[in-house]
């Protein structure tokens, strides 16, 4: 079967750094996506990894290790507006996205 695992909830402090992990087992791999979803809103695209390594985009970075079936999203200089759910999704051999249940990130002052 196909499976995406993420922690259900994480708490961090404003100004700090947090790492959200994602492990996956899918039928094929054609890229991994991270999306942000604020409560009651639609998911919005954050990052995409298809090759091993780190992709940096401002305060957000995403890492991929295909051999380990593992990715993480790193958020630096946390702001209160970063309180949201972070969704990991893997594109499988059929080019369909398989989604994790999401990690709810709570930022405290």
Q: Contact residues for another protein (CB under 8 A)? A: 4, 30, 33, 41-45, 48, 87, 89, 95-102
CB of 109: closest distance to another protein in angstroms? Answer: 27
Radius of gyration of the chain (CA): 13
CB of 82: closest distance to another protein in angstroms? Answer: 19
**Cβ closest to another protein, residue 20 vs residue 78:** 20
Angle at 66 between CA 26 and CA 51, to 5 degrees: 115
For residues 103 and 35, the answer to whether their CB atoms sit within 8 Å is no
CB of 24: closest distance to another protein in angstroms? Answer: 11
For residues 25 and 69, the answer to whether their CB atoms sit within 8 Å is yes
């Amino acid at each position: 079967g196909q499976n995406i695992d993420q922690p259900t909830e994480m708490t961090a402090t404003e100004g700090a750094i947090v790492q959200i992990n994602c492990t996956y087992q899918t039928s094929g791999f054609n890229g991994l996506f991270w999306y942000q979803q604020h409560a009651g809103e639609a998911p919005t695209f954050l990052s995409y990894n298809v090759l091993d390594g780190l992709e940096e985009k401002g305060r957000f970075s995403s890492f991929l290790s295909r051999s380990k079936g593992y990715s993480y999203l790193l958020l630096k200089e946390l702001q209160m507006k970063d309180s949201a759910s972070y969704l990991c999704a893997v594109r499988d051999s059929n080019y369909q996205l398989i989604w994790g249940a999401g990690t709810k990130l709570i930022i405290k002052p």
